[in-house]
């Protein structure tokens, strides 16, 4: 199964992002469907049952905190023709969480990407060029307090993401 670790924005944030996207870019060729909007933390790729069990055991032991995320900029990956929503200053807790997940994957014998992590929520694919800067600056905040391992499948030409594992991350107040 094809897998990745991600945060899923809460429904209010999904609705707000979707609305903001439609106002700024009404004519995108391949907008990501609202139910698929997510922040990838780490792409763990194709894994087997044993590796999934290993991830399950390792994720249960993780003690990383919930993270307050603020999405406040847009970007464009030229090579992949992807329009995205990102963060001007990704919090260090986010980078620490990704580092912890890389270590978990290594423990479970799962090969991982070497390229630099650019936290982003993909808004649209197959954009021939940057489809203009947004008229309305993005400002979306949410508390990322549940970590997911997602499975990605293509069914009838449509990409479906399904959670395989989840781990609640405690907020600052709960940790007191
Ligand atoms: P599609 O590839 O059909 O357009 P998708 O990219 O949403 O759909 P996947 O390719 O399964 O579906 O990817 C799932 C998530 O993992 C996405 O956020 C994608 O950007 C990310 N991802 C996929 N491949 C890699 C990779 N090699 N390195 C880093 N992230 C990746
Ligand atoms: Mg892909």
139 C-alpha to center of ligand 1: Å? 24
List of residues 6+ apart from 67 with CB closer than 8 A: 91, 93, 94, 97, 143, 144, 145, 169
113 Cβ partners below 8 Å, 6+ apart?
A: 42, 43
Enter the pTM of the model. Answer: 0.96
Predicted local confidence at residue 128, as pLDDT? 81
Per-residue tokens: 87: 């963060």
Does the pLDDT value for residue 129 go beyond 90?
no
Beta bridge partners of 141: 70
pLDDT at 121 over 80: yes
Q: Which atom of ligand 1 is nearest to the CA of 125?
A: 4
Q: Whose CA is nearest to atom 24 of ligand 1?
A: 43
Average pLDDT for residues 40-68, to the nearest whole number? Answer: 97
Q: How far is the CA of 60 from the centre of ligand 2 (A)?
A: 27
Query: Where do the domains of the chain lie, and which CATH numbers do they carry?
Result: 2-175 (3.90.1140.10)
Whether the CB-CB separation of 44 and 106 falls below 8 Å is answered with no
Q: How far is the CA of 134 from the centre of ligand 2 (A)?
A: 24
Considering the chain, what is the average pLDDT of its residues? 95
Q: What is the DSSP string of 108-164?
A: TT-----SPP--EEEEEE--SS-----SS---EEEEE-EEEEEEEEEETTEEEEEEE
* Mean pLDDT value across residues 73-97: 96
Contacts of 126 (CB under 8 A, 6+ apart): 29, 30, 81
- Is 7:144 a contact under the CB 8 Å cutoff? yes
């Amino acid at each position: 199964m094809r897998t990745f670790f991600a945060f899923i924005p809460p429904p209010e944030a999904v609705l707000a992002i979707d609305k903001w996207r439609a106002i700024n870019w009404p004519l995108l060729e391949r907008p990501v469907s609202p139910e698929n909007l997510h922040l990838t933390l780490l792409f763990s790729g194709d894994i087997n049952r044993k590796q999934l069990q290993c991830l399950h055991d390792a994720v249960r032991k993780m003690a990383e905190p919930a993270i307050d995320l603020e999405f406040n900029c847009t970007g464009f990956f030229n090579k992949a023709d992807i329009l995205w929503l990102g963060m001007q200053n990704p919090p260090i807790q986010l980078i620490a969480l990704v580092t912890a997940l890389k270590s978990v994957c290594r423990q479970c014998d799962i090969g991982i990407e070497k390229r630099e992590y650019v936290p982003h929520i993909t808004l649209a694919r197959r954009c021939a060029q940057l489809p203009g800067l947004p008229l309305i600056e993005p400002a979306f905040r949410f508390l990322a307090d549940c970590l997911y391992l997602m499975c990605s499948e293509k069914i009838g030409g449509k990409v479906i993401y399904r959670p395989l594992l989840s781990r609640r991350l405690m907020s600052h107040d709960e940790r007191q």
